[in-house]
Amino acid sequence: MTLAVIAGSANEPLAASISAELGVKLHERLAQRFDDGELHVEIEESIRGCDVYVIQPTSLPVDEHVMELLFLADACRRAGAARLTAVVPYFGYARQDRRASGREPVGARVIADLIEAAGFTRVVAVDLHAPEIEGFFHMPVEHLSAAALLARAIRTTRDMVIVAPDLGAVKLAERYQAFLQLPVVVLHKSRLSGSAVALRTIIGDVKDRAPLIVDDMITTGATIEAAVTGLLDAGCKPDVSVLATHALFVGPAIARLQALSIRQLIATNSVNATAVPVPFQVVNLAPMLADAIARLHRDQSLGSLLAHA
Amino acid sequence: MTLAVIAGSANEPLAASISAELGVKLHERLAQRFDDGELHVEIEESIRGCDVYVIQPTSLPVDEHVMELLFLADACRRAGAARLTAVVPYFGYARQDRRASGREPVGARVIADLIEAAGFTRVVAVDLHAPEIEGFFHMPVEHLSAAALLARAIRTTRDMVIVAPDLGAVKLAERYQAFLQLPVVVLHKSRLSGSAVALRTIIGDVKDRAPLIVDDMITTGATIEAAVTGLLDAGCKPDVSVLATHALFVGPAIARLQALSIRQLIATNSVNATAVPVPFQVVNLAPMLADAIARLHRDQSLGSLLAHA
Amino acid sequence: MTLAVIAGSANEPLAASISAELGVKLHERLAQRFDDGELHVEIEESIRGCDVYVIQPTSLPVDEHVMELLFLADACRRAGAARLTAVVPYFGYARQDRRASGREPVGARVIADLIEAAGFTRVVAVDLHAPEIEGFFHMPVEHLSAAALLARAIRTTRDMVIVAPDLGAVKLAERYQAFLQLPVVVLHKSRLSGSAVALRTIIGDVKDRAPLIVDDMITTGATIEAAVTGLLDAGCKPDVSVLATHALFVGPAIARLQALSIRQLIATNSVNATAVPVPFQVVNLAPMLADAIARLHRDQSLGSLLAHA
Amino acid sequence: MTLAVIAGSANEPLAASISAELGVKLHERLAQRFDDGELHVEIEESIRGCDVYVIQPTSLPVDEHVMELLFLADACRRAGAARLTAVVPYFGYARQDRRASGREPVGARVIADLIEAAGFTRVVAVDLHAPEIEGFFHMPVEHLSAAALLARAIRTTRDMVIVAPDLGAVKLAERYQAFLQLPVVVLHKSRLSGSAVALRTIIGDVKDRAPLIVDDMITTGATIEAAVTGLLDAGCKPDVSVLATHALFVGPAIARLQALSIRQLIATNSVNATAVPVPFQVVNLAPMLADAIARLHRDQSLGSLLAHA
Amino acid sequence: MTLAVIAGSANEPLAASISAELGVKLHERLAQRFDDGELHVEIEESIRGCDVYVIQPTSLPVDEHVMELLFLADACRRAGAARLTAVVPYFGYARQDRRASGREPVGARVIADLIEAAGFTRVVAVDLHAPEIEGFFHMPVEHLSAAALLARAIRTTRDMVIVAPDLGAVKLAERYQAFLQLPVVVLHKSRLSGSAVALRTIIGDVKDRAPLIVDDMITTGATIEAAVTGLLDAGCKPDVSVLATHALFVGPAIARLQALSIRQLIATNSVNATAVPVPFQVVNLAPMLADAIARLHRDQSLGSLLAHA
Amino acid sequence: MTLAVIAGSANEPLAASISAELGVKLHERLAQRFDDGELHVEIEESIRGCDVYVIQPTSLPVDEHVMELLFLADACRRAGAARLTAVVPYFGYARQDRRASGREPVGARVIADLIEAAGFTRVVAVDLHAPEIEGFFHMPVEHLSAAALLARAIRTTRDMVIVAPDLGAVKLAERYQAFLQLPVVVLHKSRLSGSAVALRTIIGDVKDRAPLIVDDMITTGATIEAAVTGLLDAGCKPDVSVLATHALFVGPAIARLQALSIRQLIATNSVNATAVPVPFQVVNLAPMLADAIARLHRDQSLGSLLAHA
């Protein structure tokens, strides 16, 4: 079974980097839009009998990237792919993992159903917003984590403290703690003291410490902004670092981040981000994803690449 | 079983018109995009046990409109809709009804699979580009035609001739002939005489006749433009009329159409077209779609509304 | 469509109470084990064309209760039930909502698949351990909450403080706060201060306050025991109350709880608990479940019964 | 994975020829009818782990041939076939590709569903009556064309003209034009000039030219007969040739064809035709089908064998 | 929900009789074969929202009758039938209920899968050859028995003895015994005494008794012939009666039965048998089937109509 | 594709014996119960890309063993098993192969559906109680028989007679006759002579012969006890032997069997029986199952291992 790697258009640089790591040429493929906005995709080399990996984060514009992923699946399936894996470094719609009211969709489950309907038989994802999304798929989901990579990239100092900017990030903060051996503090936006107004409480001590805020993704930067404000109010050093897997940077994100005195801002290239100013540092996911693809292709255990490892 | 009509955001004026025809209020629904481009939909009134019709042409931007259709389906299904019908006045991706090369998707089948996966149990469509698309669905497709409505809207003269701008439109031209009792001519772009160059041949006589070009949809206007040029060269009167079900008007369409001396340009509001200059005349599909919905809701035969009637 | 309520054997008193609330007789059914341990079920009255609700928490012995639920579904489906709803007040295997290692099952998804394969078309659940489990089902899940009922049952005092015994319970604690208007504190077992040993930190002030520990379920009582120890160490009043939806009370649970100086211990009858000594107080879920069944049967909105309401 | 070729009973000579081309022995299989008309099939050699190709056109008696195809699939699937391809050189029920009234089946989709239900995972077909039928299958359909073979077999003269006997055959006529470099004319049965009576119009010039009528299939010969009459009336040479992929020859077909002065009548052996008199010439599909099977078996591209190539 | 009864072409007299019993007119439907043997069906009156019952035994020619059943299902489903029940008084291929060799199909399961794929949601059958076939369907199978009807039709005498012509008929014989209060004897073709030759042993005493042979179906009459020979050899009275549900009468059946001195030969009209000579007496299944349809339509219990009642 | 054998906990000695026969180490796996009775399984070595065989009879406690089988399937499927076969030497719930009343489940079909839903793609079973259960599965069932092994293990004498203890065992008795060349007699509990009371009739002669009772399984021993009583009454020698595939020995089985004067009692180790006293002799199924697994793994025919061979 020959290995074939196909790049969707959502993150071609990442796909190119993965193919370079693997030492295989990306399969030629066409992906264009007609005047009426309809997508046309075509695989331009034979993939009959191949073990195919389609690389496509479902980042903005999310619906177009999802549809392209599905069309590529149908093209590969009908063209005789033997195994068909969706490599989705950033999985969009992940926050719609339950109904918050009685008459909403469970958006992440809809996307999972579409990916299964299109013919994929395995998914590779990185730092899913909610790990339960694995259970939205009937097929195997290989849930990888970039935490080890990001932890390796950060320059730590003795006075640093890891900050979970909300309760949802506590597990991730503890994962980083295992790598970095630093204390963890938690921000919690709640009415902990019973008052009518929601306050952002800091659990733990940040005084004279340099905060290292960790999260799974940065979208508009609002969470980071609020965290920095709260931390400074609490007497932290004005020397803030930020670690996140997914740098979506939508809307006012870049302006916001530039306005904050951030020393280090480290994220992966899961999303094809446009150039952002210093001090943004990009950790390349390609070696990890290439390693995962190589192991899957050779039927080897993914071991320590998995998010729950 | 109560009737509930829900408007997707692709064509709210049409949905409003349908609901007015039916004498029922549109169900309140929310459809918004977050900063990261992700769609959020919510039905704001109970639809438990209802017979629900979601009105959404899958026009430009097609992927966003498809996804919204699927999310609305999931929301309705989980909220207890008893029957769930997709009313898709314009069905996008219809031209991808087969593979033109060995490694393409069958796009229209992918869309059909998604609509079934999301939970719809019936589709209503109007003048599908390829009627075989009915067979891409396992569920029932009620395929309606706007030809009778459009034929009624045109002002005919004795010197008119119906023009099929290519072979694919001949069946449609003959359908209009049955309503209008006018001769039909056919344009055919081919190497009929064996020459190396493709010519546009006119089958039938247009000399001193006023052409009435009929087609299922107008996208960029290129087909209309080429037809008019050919017809004028063949000596037709410079008094051109155009009938089409779907007025997509993408790219240079409006500029092209305005440059041609078109007397009447009649199409339906299947797609939520922005205002276009005279002489564009819009035939309202709402009465026909409301009639179809009312009959389906009351379990009555669709009879003459069907495309094959 | 006639309403039919069938009791599985996992919690017959609750089913009886629901049927009394609804004013309908429980359908006669047989559920027995042969000598070889095989289950035999039989519905002893016609349910053809009925709207059937099977009441069965999947509590200990969980596999037997799951299988009985599936057999009842098959019996009802083959006997012509028109609608078939699983009412699962306690949903077992909910903690297996993701893989913690690469070669485990996603247990809760397996159970969801079985329930769908057996023929149910809707599930009613109460206070699911992970709300994302809704997305493990393709069919609608009506996720109810007992928090309002439990909040109404507790006798509060001014010096009380709501305690989330771990981070997973914070959302629940905030839900109770909305009902009770009391401050919330959080216990967190972690290495927050970077030390090698895990400590149970208390976020918020409990000194001279009477703790009200809230959780979704009590199994062995270990979490409650650890919380009480920690709270007393932190100077709380020795006047502890406990609120939980599901009282499984397995292994040493009752002995542990009796050893603690608990003033009030309130839980629902989602699980068919054997008699436990004072001060255990049982809140009857039957009125809420009967209300939900009645609304579903009459196609009415569930409104405020939903967990996310 | 070993290659195994199994002949259904619909066209054993073709299957024998394919197996000879491939250099593999046909797998022994039993296919018999009991007294009560029920079919019994059995594969008489192991196919466990094999790449199996079942050769069966669904020609007259079509329902029996379809059922045998399905039974062979079930037998192969249960006996452990690793891959299971239906080779259907002639695909019956292809004209039922849409509903012509509101209460018909979509026959071709029913057949597609049955073939998928029985366990095939790929279909090979030749010159489908409607290429959209590919989209009726979820699984890959390899749609081959015999046009190149037939074009090679015809003896052409300079005075020949390719004739599409109706609009549905125009695309096919243009495909032959690409091979033969001859002009194309089109017969069109319609009221092109608006008269009440349907006339068969000839688009293009046939005077003193030798017609070469091309079509996908010949059933009763009525279309050929009408075309020849019309062509002679229009002054063509009485030297008629006919090319078609599928020679069903039902009812009066042979009598009709013999009554016409046909110089060359060329078709493939897709259907197991009984002997017909001169000048019927059969083009053997076996080399092309054997080539397709060999490429599929070795996971190679089908390239120019495809109908859309 | 309106009741609609549609007759397949396999047994139109039975369908007419059922419709008369029900007091409803048979729905007009077209079922014809084209010259190429392809079936065309069409429902000629609206069935939208109806509770539809299609009456079609799958008797000889079995494949054509199965296919017609499937096409009628697709037509009804796409035309909006609300419920769709296959009434199959005789279920063909029932003897292929397991593999007798490793490379056969399980024919009855294939047929069950086709019926489910075509869109039926319930099956009504009469005296299935193997009652386990119920389990081949995921949907409900209402398995009726004609034994009570047949028992009522026979004229019994005091000297009669019920004969099971082989071991497979013993359960049926005991069912008749419950109605007729006569002794049962069993014929068994086996090497019971260890000899090399298979003998037909009679278990029980038939001397000077009038045999009443009972079986589920008569196909070629060979079993009856062998039983009569054996019984006469054993000294029974030459006054033989035969009861069977399904009278297929294929091949030499009628000649064989006429050659035997049979006093009474009673069977149902499950199969549309051609006229056979005295003393064949037909018991009309229509009242029972009409009763079953009426009960199913009104959502009433089938009670004593069921085979296992 | 590497072979991997995984033992469920239902019969670890058998699995160990199979792995020894195959010369492969059992894959490490964890299967434990939490305090709340929930099962946790984990495969402790990589099975990615392996051909996996899970060995688990569904014996008492049947629901727990079924659930463990399903959880192991999900774990293997998600961990990347390439092929996944359930080896179920004893298949529980097999007697629920049809509905005996209108409102029961078809239990064996429910179990089949669960096994398919969990992700197995093939089943290996031994001496199924009803061979039609093969048809309850859509996937292939390899139905093996232990009869040849058991026949080889029995010490026969010239005066022996094979006894089918009821009609359901006659086919099995004849299978043993083919191996042992002994006469067969049949016990039949029925009102053969029309009396009101059910008698156990013996078909054939047992006087002064040593009975060899054969059956597919022994559960409570009641059938054996009744048979022995009847045989002794009929004058057989008091020298009774018993052959059965599955020795469940539930309830009073062992006491009953010990009370009877049984010379030889031979069964397989399909079920993990606790030690039973002399003269119980266990025939090891491991060589046959290992042979089947080896052949399946190497894609070889199962030939004479099959029950219908």
D216/E201: higher pLDDT = D216
Residue of F38, F78, F103 lying closest to C79 (CB–CB): F103
Residue C192: predicted pLDDT: 45
Task: List own/partner pairs for B193-202 with CB under 8 A and 24 or more apart.
Answer: B193/D183, B193/D204, B193/D205, B194/D177, B194/D181, B194/D182, B194/D183, B194/D184, B200/B226, B200/B227, B200/B230, B201/D203, B202/B230, B202/B231, B202/B234
Higher pLDDT, B147 or D187: B147
Does residue F32 sit in the same domain as residue F87? yes
Which of E98, E170, E203 lies nearest to residue F131, judging by beta carbons?
A: E98
pLDDT(C276) > 80:
no
Q: What average pLDDT values come out for chain B (309 residues) when binned by 10 residues?
A: 97 97 97 95 97 97 98 98 98 95 94 97 96 97 96 95 89 91 84 52 88 95 93 93 95 89 92 73 96 98 85
Residue of B nearest to A100 (CA): B42
Residues F19 and F142 in one domain: yes
Judged against a pLDDT cut of 50, whether residue A194 lies above it is answered with no
> What parts of chain E have a pLDDT lower than 70?
190-199, 274-278, 309
Best mutation site among B3, B51, B121, B301 for testing chain E: the one with the most E CBs within 10 Å?
B301
Do F7 and F136 reside in the same domain of the chain?
yes
The answer to whether B140 contacts E49, with C-beta atoms less than 8 Å apart, is no
Strands C141-144 and C122-126: parallel
Residues E105 and E183 in one domain: no
Q: Are C22 and C141 in a shared domain?
A: yes
Instruction: Give me the tens of pLDDT residue by residue for chain F, a chain 309 residues long.
Output: 999 999 999 999 999 999 999 999 999 999 999 999 999 999 999 999 999 999 999 999 999 999 999 999 999 999 999 999 999 999 999 999 999 888 999 999 999 999 999 999 999 999 999 999 999 999 999 999 999 999 999 999 999 999 999 888 888 998 999 999 998 888 877 654 444 555 577 878 899 999 999 999 999 999 999 999 999 999 999 999 999 999 999 988 988 988 987 899 999 999 987 666 657 899 999 999 999 999 999 999 998 899 876
If asked whether residues A264 and A291 sit together in one domain, one would say no
Give me the interface pTM, i.e. the ipTM.
0.94
Task: Tell me the nearest-neighbour CA distance from B96 into chain D, angstroms.
Answer: 9
**Within this chain, do residues B139 and B179 fall inside the same structural domain, yes or no?**
no
Distance between CA F86 and CA F63 in Å, rounded?
16
* Beta-ladder partners of C200: C189
Separation between Cα atoms, residue A177 and residue A182, nearest integer Å: 6
To probe the interface with D, which of E63, E65, E101, E271 has the most D CB atoms within 10 Å? E63
Chains touching B (3+ CB pairs < 8 Å): A, C, D, E
pLDDT digits (tens, 9 = 90+) for C60-118: 999 999 999 999 999 999 999 999 999 999 999 999 999 988 899 999 999 999 999 99
CB pair distance less than 8 Å for C296 and B78? no
Nearest by Cα to C161 from C261, C235, C223: C235
Most D-contacting residue of A3, A43, A78 (CB-CB within 10 A), to test interface: A78
The verdict on a CB contact (< 8 Å) between F77 and A140 is: yes
Shared domain for A133 and A7, answered yes or no, is yes
Q: Is the pLDDT reported for residue A247 higher than 70?
A: yes
Q: In this structure, how many other beta carbons lie within 10 angstroms of the beta carbon of residue B40?
A: 17
* Cβ separation E80–B299 shorter than 8 A: yes
The CA distance from C165 to C186, in Å, is 6
What residues of C are in contact with residue A102 (Cβ under 8 Å)? 301-303, 306, 308-309
B78 closest CB neighbour out of C140, C296, C301: C140
pLDDT computed for residue E198 by the predictor: 55
pLDDT value at residue C274: 65
What does the pLDDT read at residue E309? 60
Whole-number percent of chain A with pLDDT over 90: 80
What's the confidence (pLDDT) of residue D202? 84
Q: Residue B45 belongs to a domain with what CATH number?
A: 3.40.50.2020
d(CA D280, CA D290) in angstroms, rounded, equals 24
User: Do residues C123 and C237 share a domain?
Assistant: no
Identify the pLDDT of residue E278.
57
DSSP per residue, chain E: --EEEEE-SS-HHHHHHHHHHHT-PPPPEEEEE-TTS-EEEEE-S--TT-EEEEE----SSHHHHHHHHHHHHHHHHHTT-SEEEEEESS-TTTT-SS-SSTT---HHHHHHHHHHHHT--EEEEES-SSGGGGGG-SS-EEEE--HHHHHHHS---TTEEEEESSGGGHHHHHHHHHHH---EEEEEEE-TT--SS-EEEEES--TT-EEEEEEEEESSSHHHHHHHHHHHHTT--S-EEEEEEEE---TTHHHHHHHS-EEEEEEESSS-PPP--TTEEEEP-HHHHHHHHHHHHTT---GGGBTT-
**Chain C residues touching residue E301 (CB < 8 angstroms):** 46, 48
Q: According to the model, what pLDDT value does residue F191 have?
A: 53
Rounded alpha-carbon distances, angstroms, from residue D115 to A52, D86, D118: 26, 8, 5
Q: Are residues F258 and F297 in the same domain?
A: no
Which domain range does residue B38 map to?
3-146+286-305
Q: Is C192 close to A182, i.e. CB distance below 8 A?
A: no
Q: How far is D308 from chain B (nearest CA, A)?
A: 5
Q: Which two tokens stand for residue F208?
A: 């002064």
Q: Tell me the nearest-neighbour CA distance from A116 into chain D, angstroms.
A: 13
Tell me, yes or no, whether F205 and F275 share the same domain. yes
Chains that touch D (3 or more CB pairs under 8 A): A, B, E, F
CB atoms E140 and C46 under 8 Å? no
Tokens of E21: 């019993």
Q: What is the pLDDT of residue A193?
A: 47
Q: Kindly list the catalytic residues of F.
A: 189
Exposure string for C132-163, b = 16+ CB within 10 A, e = fewer? bbbbbbbbbbbbbbbbbbbbebbebeeebbbb
User: Which tens digit of pLDDT belongs to each residue from C6-23?
Assistant: 999 999 999 999 999 999
Do F112 and F177 lie in a common domain? no
C105, F75 contact by CB (below 8 A): yes
C–D contact (≥3 CB pairs within 8 Å)?
Answer: no
Please write the tens of the pLDDT for every residue from C122-175: 999 999 999 999 999 999 999 999 999 999 999 999 999 999 998 888 889 989
Contact F49 A299 (CB under 8 A): yes
Find the range with the poorest average confidence among A115-119, C21-25, D201-205, F228-232. Answer: D201-205
Tell me how many domains chain F contains: 2
